[in-house]
Structure 1
Amino acid sequence: MTTLTNLQPAPVIDETARLLTEHYVFPEIAEQVADLLQRRLAEGAYDVDGAEELARVVTEDLQSVNDDKHLRLKYHADPVSPEQGAATLDSIRRDFDTSLGGAPRVELLDGGVALVELAPMLFPLEWAAEPLSAALTLASRAQALIVDLRNNRGGDPDTVAFVCSYLLDERTHLNTMYWRRGERSEQSWSLPHVPGARFGGSKPLYVLSSDRTFSAAEELAYDLQQLGRAVVVGEPTRGGAHPCKGWTVHPHLETTIPTGRAINPISGANWEGTGVRPDVPCAAVESLGQAHTLALARLAG
């Protein structure tokens, strides 16, 4: 463990406060949180035993003003590169290599219902396009489809649009990101063409959710729900709608800060704080059985 003999909290807090003020999508909240961090530093709240404990305490304070779960000080056991986002990218690559590219389970259930699990995240599209295309093309011949996001912690918005493209018939406006820098916006649309075959926009589609489903995985569920394309089955999700970036502020610590916010073109809102509310609420452990039952009933009808 990194101890206070080689970890001084003041430089970590000073740099985190500076990054907040410069990059956080809500400038007024950034000032409040930065002031809180400096006040807590002066009080000695961060004189703790090691980087891992400092990350826990600071994260609690970062999220205390507006409960933004993307605002974090993340601990990394192995030293990480000072390059922006390098800590997260190294960890993501390891997960990609051990999860069949983010589609660890493709299965045909009874009655012609396919199950595709997307976990542990929606990886960067330049990595994930090939394995996701293979999984979704394989499932395209099913009569109904269940997409399991219960263990998905988020990822790349471009990958959200890629997956949606297999589940719709035509190019569709999915989401708009509003960025702090320059007050610019960026629309997300499904693709007009996909590699492989589409499941399409008319056959029954169910999305499984849990209280672990987060960030870009929530966007996938929310976008399909708002379009009336999918029935969400399971638990309310964690409620993180703000895309973020990471900065290394110590060899074992990374500050993640949202730099934008998502606005759905149908609801005019997002899932921040509230999570995606399931259409069929049930315990996550029961959601696969529930969705399969619903799919079979729909097909029989």
Structure 2
Amino acid sequence: MRTNEQIVRQALSRIEAGYVFPEKTAAIGAAIGRRLAEGAYERLDGPSLCETVTADLQEVCPDKHLRLLWADQPQSLDPADEDEGRAAFLALLKAENQGIRRVEQLDGKVGLIDVRRIAYADEGAAAIGAAMQLVAHSSALILDLRECRGGAPEGAAMWCSYFFRDDQVHLNDIYERSTGATRQFWTAAHLPAPRFTDRPVYALTSSITFSGGEDVAYTLQAHGRAVLVGETTRGGAHPTARHPVTEHTLVTVPTARTINSVTGTNWEGTGVIPNIPVQADQALKAALEDLGT
């Protein structure tokens, strides 16, 4: 059985090798090294170790995607099986209807889509298209992102594509540390359902909204395509890889950073700030009132 020190040191090696801001890894390593020398992690059980190390990581480097996580179900440690968490997330999306919780027609012909995860564009296209087909003739649309905890950048771009006329809108870029390359994200040329243009779009947010959910909200707001209603979001903007350290612990390492084409920056650390700030449980009511329905 591996000691807690071995687990933490392997997690640190993953961070040093892959973190999107390599200039910050020395400070991270030094801070966690001091905690190891103090014996801070020696007697902790698995979940407590993950919680404590995560708090220490984020104290020295406040990146909400930089974490040590506990997994109740055993994970494969075979390097051939490592896919940075994609397989597990695909299985979760399949079980959760590609992240779409419900689609509803409200009074006044206002459509509502409750999105809990942002699916991959290829796997999720049909479900996203089906949801958009159901609201295609609505007078306005509300995207409920209050419980959206993240997902794929490609899926975020697909969701956003529905709200622009064509494929000529440059949404954002993602810079990858491992390659030094910057990938551009533009609106899609072809979509499986009609685009939703020339009508109001609102996005509901909360302090739970995170990562991919923030991507959709921030992008639509920055491009002037949606009014955000609710609470400031959690503030995690860095695409992340997941690496198993033991069968029950994994380290999440932000390996890239998002750059919005309008603002030139992102929502990391600050969250996405709503246009109409209200408590999350009042956001739908406030959006409908702003629409005059």
Verify same fold: TM over 0.5: yes
Match of 1:164 among 156, 160, 178: 160
Kindly indicate whether residue 191 of structure 2 is the aligned counterpart of residue 194 of structure 1.
Answer: yes
Cα shift readout 1:60-108 (whole Å, capped 9, x = no counterpart): 1111123100000010011111246568445434532342221111000
Contact in 2 for aligned 1:237/1:277 (Cα 8 Å) = yes
Q: Distance in 1 between matches of 2:61 and 2:221?
A: 25
* Match of residue 296 from structure 1: 292
* Match of residue 143 from structure 1: 139
Q: Distance in 2 between matches of 1:109 and 1:258?
A: 39
Contact in 2 for aligned 1:70/1:244 (Cα 8 Å) = yes
Runs of 5+ unmatched residues, structure 1: 1-5
* Match of residue 262 from structure 1: 258
Cα offset, 1:168, TM superposition? 1.1
Cα offset, 1:124, TM superposition? 2.0
Kindly indicate whether residue 204 of structure 2 is the aligned counterpart of residue 208 of structure 1.
Answer: yes
Cα offset, 1:162, TM superposition? 0.7
Cα shift readout 1:11-64 (whole Å, capped 9, x = no counterpart): 111111111111101112111111211221111011133111100001011111
Letter in 2 for 1:67: P
Match of 1:152 among 142, 148, 151: 148
Q: Secondary structure at the match of 1:181?
A: coil
Q: CA RMSD in A?
A: 1.5
Kindly indicate whether residue 222 of structure 2 is the aligned counterpart of residue 226 of structure 1.
Answer: yes
Q: Distance in 1 between matches of 2:88 and 2:182?
A: 29
Cα shift readout 1:138-162 (whole Å, capped 9, x = no counterpart): 1111000000000001110000111
Kindly indicate whether residue 68 of structure 2 is the aligned counterpart of residue 68 of structure 1.
Answer: no
Contact in 2 for aligned 1:154/1:216 (Cα 8 Å) = yes
What does 1:238-257 align with in structure 2 at a 5 Å threshold?
A: 238-257=234-253
Match of 1:272 among 247, 263, 268: 268
4+ aligned runs moved over 3 Å, structure 1: 83-91
TM-score, L = length of structure 1: 0.92
Cα offset, 1:290, TM superposition? 0.8
Q: Distance in 2 between matches of 1:55 and 1:87?
A: 18
Letter in 1 for 2:23: E
Q: Distance in 2 between matches of 1:110 and 1:264?
A: 34
* Match of residue 130 from structure 2: 134
* Match of residue 99 from structure 2: 102
Q: Distance in 2 between matches of 1:96 and 1:177?
A: 23
Letter in 1 for 2:126: E
Runs of 5+ unmatched residues, structure 2: none
Kindly indicate whether residue 44 of structure 2 is the aligned counterpart of residue 49 of structure 1.
Answer: yes
* Match of residue 3 from structure 1: none
Contact in 2 for aligned 1:7/1:50 (Cα 8 Å) = no
> How many residues of Structure 1 are paired with residues of Structure 2 in the alignment?
290
Letter in 1 for 2:127: P
What does 1:19-58 align with in structure 2 at a 5 Å threshold?
A: 19-58=14-53
Q: Distance in 2 between matches of 1:233 and 1:116?
A: 15
Contact in 2 for aligned 1:85/1:245 (Cα 8 Å) = no
Contact in 2 for aligned 1:88/1:246 (Cα 8 Å) = yes
Q: Secondary structure at the match of 2:59?
A: coil
Q: Distance in 2 between matches of 1:98 and 1:246?
A: 20
